Chain A
Amino acid sequence: MTEPDGRRPKLSGVELTPELIRGLGAVAGLEFSTDRAAELAVQAKPYFSAIFALTTLDVRDAEPAGEFRLDDKGVTR
């Protein structure tokens, strides 16, 4: 189903502070020290800038490329 244009996620504009990075890391089970989170914030900016730019692509009619298939696992008898 096509989603309304206005519902495209707006991920840009988030400030990647060391505190935010520590919080996101904790969700994944990783403990970043304050210094480590500050170092990572520097690397994170160009990375997130690149992938957040994808939101400018019009992908309303595109399903994710990942596939889950069971057509060769079913019982055929």
Chain B
Amino acid sequence: MSTIALREQTADLPLVDVAALLRQRKISSIELTEAALSRLAALEPALNAFVTVLADEARAGALRADAEIAAGNDRGPLHGIPISVKDLFSTAGIRTTASSRILAENVPDEDATVIARLCEAGAVLIGKTNLLEFAYATVHPDYGPTPNPWDLRRSTSGSSSGSAAAVAAGIGYGSLGSDTGGSIRLPAAYCGIVGLKPTYGRVSRHGAVPVSWSCDHVGPMTRTVADTAAMLGVIAGEDPRDSTSGRVPVPDYLATLNDDLSGYRIGLASAYLRDHVAPEVSQLVEAAIATMETMGATIVEIALPPPSEAVPALLGVITPEATAFHLAWLRERPHDYSQAVRERLELGAITPAISYIQAQRARRHITDEMLAGFQQVDVVVMPTAPSAATFLDGDLVTSDVADPALLAAMMNFTGPFDLTGFPAISLPCGFTDDGLPVGMQLVARPYAEARLLAAAHAYEQAHDWHRRLPTVVTELQ
């Protein structure tokens, strides 16, 4: 019988655990940073998770954090913690490519709001991670795909591919991703980690290279729910530089976590459970629902507008918005895009204005119906992705195939909540017979992240899924 390897080395521990060790002076930020950089050096040839590694800057930041902590200047749970960020967040003086040829030499003058907040919180930035080109459709050949740490022949999905692989492989304790159709949650599910797409407006988009201004979300990717709560607490909150930023107070997300699901009403919507889902994914999600029921939750059947309405509406919004951002480059440098991204941008250019406006009206209509469905429940449970990680060869997301119908099917469970802006989290709910992680998605009403995180954390404590080590790490040991 094979032994399941669990996360025990310092590089593999949860963020909140090493933050506690830092405060107890049992470990230093420079030790954590060296461990993360060492893991990065060992695995990067296989994972291709980073566009830019910031080893010198990280060491300097770690030493600064150690000095501040020693002097009693504690900046909170991210102080001295090595993390990475997706390479579409502007970093002052540091190349920000969006894994594209178009922005290959782009060096911003200022930090994105979320980067500034992470730096203010004392986080140590070890590098900028690989993504699908412009977080849209496919891998650019200049950058290449990020293979899955659980099976290097398989996809990490996208678009926050490098972030998911890095976190799963113990290269830093968290990463920052972005999500317009599922780009945080799908790679989180494929890589066996936690990924949160917060409510639209909860986290500033200022300084993130956009896919779609009205559907882009920024959120944390970590190994545990508590780690996500810690990161969200730092990056959330109003930003005058983002016109859609919400003026809603930020609660202490860590303080509201507990192990209890009693009193929770868990919603199930038939349109979001079994349609186009691999049987073993359905079985694991149903087992997770049964676990939550035994933990005290009440299961409630509800009706929600189906993915067959929400995903086309999402495509009708994001496709022309993406092209509006790219139009000048599309006219002048079309050959610098990958084939699939160029195709999708060209489709956006020929979309009639009336289609965009009708999609925005459908969005309002679907959001109202979704709000009505959520009246009866605290969270709704469903799969994150239709299957576990697919093989890289022929993968829908990362290959050079851009079949819009297949891509829409991939976004069935994630896309509707980019359209409506509801907060949604993916966390592991088991493994397939092939040893691949499967993600379960919990969704809540707008700005109910505290309740969402508490439910996800409680379920997480019932299993050790989040502690299992991916193959690429066990083979190192």
Q: Which of B121-129, B164-172, B354-362, B460-468 contacts A (4 or more CB under 8 A)?
A: B354-362
Interfacial chain B residues near A75, Cβ < 8 Å? none
Task: Please determine whether B364 and A63 come into contact, CB atoms closer than 8 angstroms.
Answer: yes
Q: Which chain A residues numbered 4 to 40 have a C-beta less than 8 Å away from chain B? A: 9, 11, 21, 24-25, 28-30, 32, 39-40
Task: Please determine whether A54 and B313 come into contact, CB atoms closer than 8 angstroms.
Answer: yes
Task: Please determine whether B402 and A54 come into contact, CB atoms closer than 8 angstroms.
Answer: no
Task: Please determine whether B347 and A25 come into contact, CB atoms closer than 8 angstroms.
Answer: no
Does B365 have its Cβ within 8 Å of any Cβ on chain A?
yes
Interfacial chain B residues near A63, Cβ < 8 Å? 361, 364
* B83 CB to nearest chain A CB (Å): 32
Q: Which chain A residues numbered 45 to 71 have a C-beta less than 8 Å away from chain B? A: 46-48, 50-55, 57-59, 61-66, 69
Task: Please determine whether B359 and A11 come into contact, CB atoms closer than 8 angstroms.
Answer: no
Does B352 have its Cβ within 8 Å of any Cβ on chain A?
yes
* B382 CB to nearest chain A CB (Å): 21
Counting chain B residues whose Cβ lies within 8 A of the other chain, the interface size class is 35 or more
Docked Cα-Cα span, A60 to B388, in Å, equals: 40
Task: Please determine whether A62 and B365 come into contact, CB atoms closer than 8 angstroms.
Answer: yes
Does B315 have its Cβ within 8 Å of any Cβ on chain A?
yes
Residue ID in chain A nearest B420 by CB atoms: A65
Does B214 have its Cβ within 8 Å of any Cβ on chain A?
yes
Does A76 have its Cβ within 8 Å of any Cβ on chain B?
no
Interfacial chain B residues near A53, Cβ < 8 Å? 312
Interface of B is mostly: helix
Q: Which of A58, A59, A63 has the most CB of B within 10 A?
A: A59
Interfacial chain A residues near B312, Cβ < 8 Å? 50-51, 53-54
Docked Cα-Cα span, A51 to B312, in Å, equals: 5
Task: Please determine whether B315 and A59 come into contact, CB atoms closer than 8 angstroms.
Answer: no
Q: Which of B347, B350, B355, B359 has the most CB of A within 10 A?
A: B350
Does B279 have its Cβ within 8 Å of any Cβ on chain A?
no
Interfacial chain B residues near A2, Cβ < 8 Å? none
Interface size on A, residues (CB 8 A): 32
Task: Please determine whether A28 and B349 come into contact, CB atoms closer than 8 angstroms.
Answer: yes
* B265 CB to nearest chain A CB (Å): 27
Docked Cα-Cα span, A11 to B350, in Å, equals: 13
Q: Which of B309, B311, B319 contacts A57 (CB 8 A)?
A: B309
Interfacial chain A residues near B403, Cβ < 8 Å? 46
26 A/B residue pairs, CB under 8 Å, sorted by A: A9-B354, A21-B350, A24-B352, A25-B346, A28-B323, A28-B350, A30-B330, A30-B334, A30-B349, A44-B350, A46-B404, A46-B405, A47-B347, A50-B311, A50-B404, A51-B316, A51-B355, A51-B358, A54-B362, A57-B365, A61-B365, A62-B361, A62-B368, A63-B364, A64-B363, A65-B363
Q: A53-B312, A54-B312 are in contact. List 20 more A-B contacts (CB 8 A).
A: A11-B355, A28-B350, A40-B350, A43-B402, A44-B350, A47-B319, A47-B404, A50-B405, A51-B313, A51-B358, A52-B355, A54-B309, A54-B313, A54-B362, A59-B358, A59-B364, A61-B365, A62-B361, A64-B357, A65-B363
B interface residues with partner A (beta carbon < 8 Å): 214, 243, 309, 311-313, 315-317, 319, 323, 327, 330-331, 334, 343, 346-347, 349-352, 354-355, 357-368, 402-405, 408
Give 6 nearest A-B pairs by CB, closest first.
Answer: A64-B360, A24-B350, A28-B349, A51-B316, A50-B312, A65-B363
